[in-house]
Structure 1
Amino acid sequence: MADRKPKNRIFWIIAIAIALMLLLLAVLQFKARSYIENFLSQKIPDHIHLTYSQIHVNLISGSVGLTDVGLDFLDEDSNRRKAGMRLDAIDIKGVGYYQALFGNTISVREIQLLRPKGEYYQGGHQVEKDGISASDSAKERTLSIAQLSVVDGEFRIFGKDPDTLVFSMENLNLSLENLKMDKEIVERIIPFAYGDYDLSTGMVYADLGPFEALTLSGTTITNKELQLSNLSLKSKYNKITLSRKLDKEHDYIDLEIPEVVMTNMDFGFNAERFFLNTKSVVLQYPKMEIYRDKLVQDDYEQKKLYSRMLRELPIDLNVSEIKVNDGYISYSELVKSGTVPGEIVFADLGATISNVSNTQESGEKTEIKAVAQLMGEAPIELTWNFDVHKENDAFFVSGVVTNFKSKSINQFLRSNLRTEAEGDVQELYFTVSGDAISSTGDMKMNYEDFRFTVLKKDRMGVNKLLTFVGNIFTNDGSKTDESGYRYGEIYSERDNTKSFFNYLWLNVMDGIVNTLTGDGKKE
């Protein structure tokens, strides 16, 4: 009997201790919930409105959860809604109480944003940064998040007109590891540091201005490899409607690339300048149609050569190699109303572009090597290089065309030059050295039975007089050297309101005319 009393006393001591601990935990749970609710209602600036249906707090697991969350950012002057987000839930897990209470770090194991739908409205005043900046005491703390996850998110940007969609992204899934913010990192342009990340999206839409839009069916980034699926860059209007809306020349474009892959990608900021580095970019099966209505007033804005474009980019770019696999390009021009636009086609296009960079040492050149089938039948090779740091935009181009039947290009010649050609070019070689002002070069051709026909202005018949006179000065290919070649010289001055490819075309045409009508001898 005497032994039973001490045992009962021990039992009750343990029971009371457990009860007190449970009571204390319940009080702390209530206090923690009350503290978080007060913080969310009182510490958030007035121009940020937060709503939620329920809040869950678990001190034992260190978790906090909000459901049916709404977040609105208002313009402080006009009180208009500038941005907003709706989420099914926000789950915060693994909060480190000890480090928060006795240290200088707020650590969290995981934050998950479930099905967020975000919107941003352009125009008007921006939300002032001072309104949401951290206090000095908060800046002294370090925030560490082991993993941030976004699950099935959506995001949209609207223009000055709230009904105008500028950008949208669907099915956004993001996993970001080892996020960190401290008083030094928060002052950077990207106010946090991070480790590994994975990202995937569904459909992406971007408005590129009044005439074009870009879409993607999907995006993934894993282990610094970016993959874009079904990239499409297209004019918003058909050719006829686009021409009616233009007050100066602007190309109709239809570009589709089923797959783009970028490897070893790295990006960020050096000081305040954004940089993008990647080892390789591969474009699989790109198909592009370009159409120009020459009846629309010319665009007299000065055009930059590609070396200058790279040199003056507002970012630091370094791409080791770009590869184009099995591409297709068609370019057509409408020169006279009521006629069929002349078209040039490059099929089976393959290209390698090395050292696409504006950060390399002076003297390191960007090099382009391309092969294709001109008009789908004549092999063509093009080699082109330039030094991005050369202020005069110096470049060198060489090309080879073989087994070309001139009649295949007659549609383009008929529309653009009011001529037709007959005869075959077995070989055509050219080299051009130039800069932003002028260029020189040479050409050699092996051809036979070459003749020009000059058409009437309405292109409905032959101008016999001009055809006769023109062919008097055109060698049919019978007067050649012992190797079967005729030679010509190239000289061209650049029209800086035209593109580089117009410049190259002028050089090739000048070489062809000089070869056909000159003495054909090698200088």
Structure 2
Amino acid sequence: MTKKSKISLGVGVVLLLLVGVFIGLNKWVAHKLKTALEESEAIQEFVYKDIDVNLLGGDASITAFSFHTGDKKVSAEKLAVKGVSVFKYLFQDKIAISAVQLTAPNVVIYSEEDKEKTKGKKKEKNDFDLAISSFEISHATLKLAKNDTVKNTLFLRLPTVELNEITANENSLASNLPFKYGDFQVEADSIFFNINDEHDMMAKKLAINSSFLQVNDISMVPLYDKQEFQKHIPYEKDRVELVIPELKLNSWKWGLENDSLKIESPLAQLNQMDLALYRDKRVNDDPRHKKMYSKMIRELPIKLNLDTLKVKNAKLQYQEKVKTDRRPGLVKFTELNASIYNLTNMGMRKTNFPTTSIEVSTYFMGEADLKVNWSFDISNKMDEFRISGHLNNISSQGINQFLKPALNVAAQGGIRDMQFDYSGNKNKASGEMKLIYKDFKVEVLKNDGESKSGFLSALANLIIRNEATSEEKTQKNITATRTINKSFWNYLWKMVRNGALKSFL
């Protein structure tokens, strides 16, 4: 055998040995990985089809796997880890990965799982440094449910999730969000959320990236028709039908603050919202204390900071059923446009905390121009506010859409101009009102019967002497006391009603 042949043979033997070593190491690492997963205290019922490891390429994959951990069940078609740097792990004690790809994961979270299993356990110290250049999830589903026997509380499908430049270490694990990231992109569809026992919320599409959020075709759907709805509520409650074709947040930021979700944006937009409310006054009164809007925002479970919220071309309709043999009374607003500034519950201890201001323009009952300016301080625990408005030209036909069916009362003539300006807090309000009316007359119709007092039934107090009147009156020092188990809109109605009573009588 020549010298050259001996060298070639030696090289071949070394290569075969190296290949054998790598194959053996691959199998050994795969075995260790299987053992670690199967014996992990955090993971139960771990099953899989195959685990493959390629140390030379720094790749590993698990196919057709599922496991249970705490209150979560997880399964997926494949998890692939690519480009693991063995050098950095051995010499820098750092786990560096080029890409992680998770295919068709299905995550189910059970909200009624026994939380005592993890309560009180100390987190082990994790001295490590992890960096992932790219993390991609495709065709995922996420479900939240009380148990397997009831419908989902939350469901969404995630065609695409991409996170770049992910880093995690001991310090990040101690924070609310256990890792940091760079750019990201999320697409979701078929979104479902069960709000309560009477309503579901849905959306067809959600798109999020580092600077933009958009949700399309949002809808809130009652589970029962108007007659059946009343059988499922213990007291008066609005039946809500809501459609929002588009919600957008520009240049938005999100994060976690003291376990609360934090959302910030200089501009949010709600386009062509359509909201229809229906209330049956034949049901028992709701005795619960109603919060002012400033308090609702102050106590939101999320931290919110929106510089400007624009509502464009919205519709709002409220119906109230008072008597079985009459159609519901109707109040409606169309072509509603609103600008809301400084909508925030963050930094409420600041001395220069901003005032929330709202500007609204709309058509009332399809015929009268209505403009409203409203302001309040969300940090103010007395819920102080100021609200003013101007209503121009409402006819008897518009007024009678809610007077006749709700109160069995009919008006003639109309109101040419109404202006009001009130200030108050969660208990009392006072202000002034100017009213111009022409040939105005109110009459009680036959067979009116006795009707239950409510938001619209308070209009009965506007019954005046039968002769038609035409006057211009300004009333000052008008007062109103809030009923704590009624909404802010009932409170506002009291202010307007009291001003009208002084003008008419």
Q: TM-score normalised to the size of structure 2?
A: 0.91
SS at 1:165 equivalent: coil
Q: How does 1:98-117 map to 2 (within 5 A)?
A: 98-117=87-106
How many angstroms apart in 2 are the aligned matches of 1:11 and 1:224?
A: 65
How many angstroms apart in 1 are the aligned matches of 2:302 and 2:22?
A: 52
Against the structure 1 CA distance between its residues 252 and 141, is the aligned structure 2 distance closer, same or farther, given a 3 Å change threshold?
A: same
Following superposition, the deviation at residue 171 of structure 1 comes to 3.5
SS at 1:348 equivalent: strand
> Residue in 2 aligned with 1:162?
149
Q: Is 1:86 aligned to residue 57 of structure 2?
A: no
How many angstroms apart in 1 are the aligned matches of 2:463 and 2:141?
A: 64
Q: How does 1:255-266 map to 2 (within 5 A)?
A: 255-266=242-253
> Residue in 2 aligned with 1:17?
11
- Aligned counterpart in structure 2 of residue 49 of structure 1, from 45, 49, 56: 45
Q: Which residue identity is paired with 1:174?
A: V
Against the structure 1 CA distance between its residues 84 and 163, is the aligned structure 2 distance closer, same or farther, given a 3 Å change threshold?
A: same
How many angstroms apart in 1 are the aligned matches of 2:300 and 2:157?
A: 30
Moved more, 285-294 or 24-33: 24-33
> Residue in 1 aligned with 2:500?
512
- C-alpha deviations, 1:426-459, integer Å up to 9, x for none? 2211111111111111111222111111234536
Preserved contact between residue 414 and residue 459 of structure 1 (Cα < 8 Å):
no
How many angstroms apart in 2 are the aligned matches of 1:274 and 1:315?
A: 5
Preserved contact between residue 210 and residue 253 of structure 2 (Cα < 8 Å):
no
Against the structure 1 CA distance between its residues 132 and 242, is the aligned structure 2 distance closer, same or farther, given a 3 Å change threshold?
A: same
Q: Is 1:476 aligned to residue 465 of structure 2?
A: no
> Residue in 2 aligned with 1:231?
218
Q: Is 1:306 aligned to residue 293 of structure 2?
A: yes
Q: Identity rate of aligned residues, in percent?
A: 26
Q: How does 1:376-387 map to 2 (within 5 A)?
A: 376-387=366-377
- The alignment yields a C-alpha RMSD, in angstroms, of 2.4
Moved more, 420-429 or 36-45: 36-45
> Residue in 1 aligned with 2:456?
none
How many angstroms apart in 2 are the aligned matches of 1:450 and 1:135?
A: 78
How many angstroms apart in 1 are the aligned matches of 2:187 and 2:390?
A: 43
Following superposition, the deviation at residue 369 of structure 1 comes to 0.5
Q: TM-score normalised to the size of structure 1?
A: 0.88
SS at 1:203 equivalent: strand
Preserved contact between residue 64 and residue 75 of structure 2 (Cα < 8 Å):
yes
Following superposition, the deviation at residue 264 of structure 1 comes to 1.6
Preserved contact between residue 156 and residue 188 of structure 2 (Cα < 8 Å):
yes
Mark the structure with the bigger radius of gyration. Answer: 1
Against the structure 1 CA distance between its residues 104 and 457, is the aligned structure 2 distance closer, same or farther, given a 3 Å change threshold?
A: farther
> Residue in 2 aligned with 1:521?
none
> Residue in 2 aligned with 1:442?
432
Following superposition, the deviation at residue 339 of structure 1 comes to 1.1
- Aligned counterpart in structure 2 of residue 72 of structure 1, from 65, 68, 71: 68
Preserved contact between residue 145 and residue 154 of structure 2 (Cα < 8 Å):
yes
Following superposition, the deviation at residue 32 of structure 1 comes to 2.7
SS at 1:185 equivalent: helix
Moved more, 24-33 or 283-292: 24-33
> Residue in 1 aligned with 2:173?
186
Q: Which residue identity is paired with 1:516?
A: F
Against the structure 1 CA distance between its residues 135 and 246, is the aligned structure 2 distance closer, same or farther, given a 3 Å change threshold?
A: closer
Q: How many residues align?
A: 489
Following superposition, the deviation at residue 272 of structure 1 comes to 4.2
In structure 2, stretches of 5+ residues that fail to align are 451-459
Following superposition, the deviation at residue 277 of structure 1 comes to 1.2
How many angstroms apart in 2 are the aligned matches of 1:133 and 1:70?
A: 27
- Aligned counterpart in structure 2 of residue 58 of structure 1, from 54, 78, 93: 54
> Residue in 2 aligned with 1:454?
444
In structure 1, stretches of 5+ residues that fail to align are 76-81, 461-466, 480-484, 518-523
- Aligned counterpart in structure 2 of residue 199 of structure 1, from 186, 189, 196: 186
Moved more, 151-160 or 330-339: 151-160
How many angstroms apart in 1 are the aligned matches of 2:466 and 2:182?
A: 70
Q: Which residue identity is paired with 1:91?
A: A
Q: Which residue identity is paired with 1:60?
A: L
- Aligned counterpart in structure 1 of residue 397 of structure 2, from 396, 407, 414: 407
- Aligned counterpart in structure 1 of residue 408 of structure 2, from 392, 400, 418: 418
> Residue in 2 aligned with 1:27?
21
Preserved contact between residue 487 and residue 515 of structure 1 (Cα < 8 Å):
yes
